[in-house]
Amino acid sequence: MPHETLDTVVSEIAEEMRARPDRGKVASYIPELGRVDPNQFAITVVTQDGHVASGGQCDIPFSIQSVSKVFTLTLALGLAGNRLWNRVGREPSGSPFNSIVQLEHERGIPRNPFINAGAIVVTDHVLAGHQPREAIGEILRFMQFLADDESIYIDHDVAASEEAHGFNNRALANFMKGFGALDNPVEYTLGVYFHHCAIAMTCRQLATAGRFLANNGIRPETGYSVVTPERARRINAIMLTCGHYDGSGEFAYRVGLPGKSGVGGAILAIVPGRASICVWSPGLDTTGNSHLGRIALEMLTTRLGWTVF
Ligand code: DON
């Protein structure tokens, strides 16, 4: 597809999103996120050949929240390999992102690595006996490396806000610890989890960081292999089936791409072999996924015919 066509579609979508009155509701259970202005929208598409198409406020940093779970999963698989799957499943949960209900029947093994319980187990593997500070640094450097941008930082106000209000995550982690599902002290694992959720990135940086997933595990500009092609395919599969929690079926139906959302309002979507896309709009729908982000992606894939199906 000519770059001009992509540029036009992306700017049209940004313009349509700017004007829409329905914007969803910002997450308020993390008070610091409740202060974000919902009247913001950004979209960046980075194609395989390195072309960048952008619209809206692409250079404003936002809290990536659960989008970070794609990258901690990548790191944990690198460290633990397929042993990780003894501790966390690969099935959609059909439940909200912060649900605890399945954990009791399923003996502390979360359904998948993207619901909060599963992501806490994944973080426990990244921590792997190190000091929380070291693991947080490792995750941050990984994001800087993938986005090729050392300015990416952790928003400590967001981390502190979640730390102070993370009652639900504390319940999940303690419950799993009771089953022997976490190796490290609960507060260590949660400390790392809260901080990687609080990484701040722009739309442009996040789309760039996702490129290896669209390119068989290789960072296209350098030829550096981040993961094997098989692993990239599998991470994409989990994004497709579990990346939007109890909204995953609807997202696959409407957008037709692997995607991962965060309560900061970002969605990272992957078009294998073609492009990495980030959309951001802070207002959420009832499943905790970006309202306008999903609509924008549906428009993009419909207009460009980009889908994995
Ligand atoms: O643990 C939490 O609740 C947040 N740090 C992340 C949740 C999240 O982003 C869910 N995604 N839509």
Kindly indicate whether the domain formed by 3-63+202-220+228-304 is annotated with CATH number 3.60.110.10: no
Q: How far apart are CA 196 and CA 159, in angstroms?
A: 8
What is the DSSP code (8-state) at residue 245? Answer: G
Catalytic site includes residue 260:
no
Q: Which residues contact 44 (CB under 8 A, 6 or more apart)?
A: 52, 53, 54, 55, 58, 203, 204, 206, 207, 277, 278
Q: Which of 200, 211, 223 is nearest to 51 (CA)?
A: 211
Q: How far apart are CA 128 and CA 174, in angstroms?
A: 17
Instruction: Give the pair of three-digit tokens for residue 239.
Output: 């994004």
ipTM above 0.90, yes or no: yes
Local confidence band at 138 (pLDDT 50, 70, 90 cut-offs): very high
Delimiting residues of CATH 3.40.710.10 domain(s) in the chain: 3-63+202-220+228-304, 66-199
Q: How far apart are CA 288 and CA 290, in angstroms?
A: 7
- Any alpha helices (H) in the chain, and if so which ranges? 3-19, 31-34, 68-80, 101-105, 116-127, 132-147, 156-165, 167-178, 186-197, 203-209, 211-214, 229-242, 248-254, 291-304
Q: What is the mean pLDDT of the chain?
A: 97
Q: How far apart are CA 278 and CA 58, in angstroms?
A: 9
Residues with C-beta less than 6 Å from any ligand 1 atom = 65-66, 97-98, 116, 162, 169, 197, 261-263, 288-289
Task: Write out pLDDT tens, residues 191-245.
Answer: 999 999 999 999 999 999 999 999 999 999 889 999 999 999 999 999 999 999 9
Q: Which of 120, 266, 274, 133 is nearest to 206 (CA)?
A: 266
Catalytic site includes residue 253:
no
What is the DSSP code (8-state) at residue 57? Answer: S
Catalytic site includes residue 245:
yes
pLDDT over 90 (residue 1):
no
Q: Which of 10, 67, 263, 271 is catalytic?
A: 263
Q: What does pTM read for this prediction?
A: 0.98
Kindly indicate whether the domain formed by 66-199 is annotated with CATH number 3.90.330.10: no
